[in-house]
Structures are given as C-alpha cells and as structure tokens.
Amino acid sequence: MPILNVILNGLDGIPQLMGVKPDDIIELQTPITVGVIPDGMTSGKPSVFFVFEFKGGKLVFAESSYALFIAAAKALQARYGEPT
C-alpha cells in the first residue's frame, strides 16, 4: 500500500525540508490536478492521483489509495474543523 504522510503542524513538520536551501525547493505555480482511478489499486479498490506540472511540460504523477486520502482528509478536518 502506498504511503501518504500527513503533516498537521505546518512546514516545520516536514523533515525533508530541514536544512534545505530555498533555491533547492521548487514551488509550483501551475495547477495541481487531483483525480480518482476507480480500480487503481491491485485489490480493485479506488486510488487517488495527483499531477504536478513543471514549466517546460515535465510532469510528476503521484498516486495513493483512496482510503489513505480520505483518512488524511479526516485528520485535517479533526484538527482544523470544517472548511468555510
């Protein structure tokens, strides 16, 4: 099963960013696409995907299970409440 890390306390909770120079971080200014593949998991259950587009047309495709995505959304909602 894919890993989906959920950080509830801001950027300080991301160990990958600790000590990284700002010039080594790419902040995307393009839309992020999110979608569902109905039978994307080997079990036949749905998966969730994200597509990140870089300047020049290069793409990153990231996929996780729908179950992990929903668990992450519930954790965010439990911490910060219903969005308004």
> Per residue in 53-82, pLDDT tens?
988 888 999 999 999 999 999 999 999 999
Residue 78 gets the label, from left (phi > 0), alpha (psi -120 to 50) or beta, of alpha
Nearest to 3 by CA among 54, 60, 71, 79: 71
| Torsion (CA) 36, 61, 10, 70 in degrees, nearest 10 | 20
Provide the residue ranges of all domains of the chain, joining segments of one domain with +. Answer: 30-84
Predicted TM-score (pTM) of the model is 0.78
> Per residue in 11-36, pLDDT tens?
777 888 888 888 888 888 888 999 99
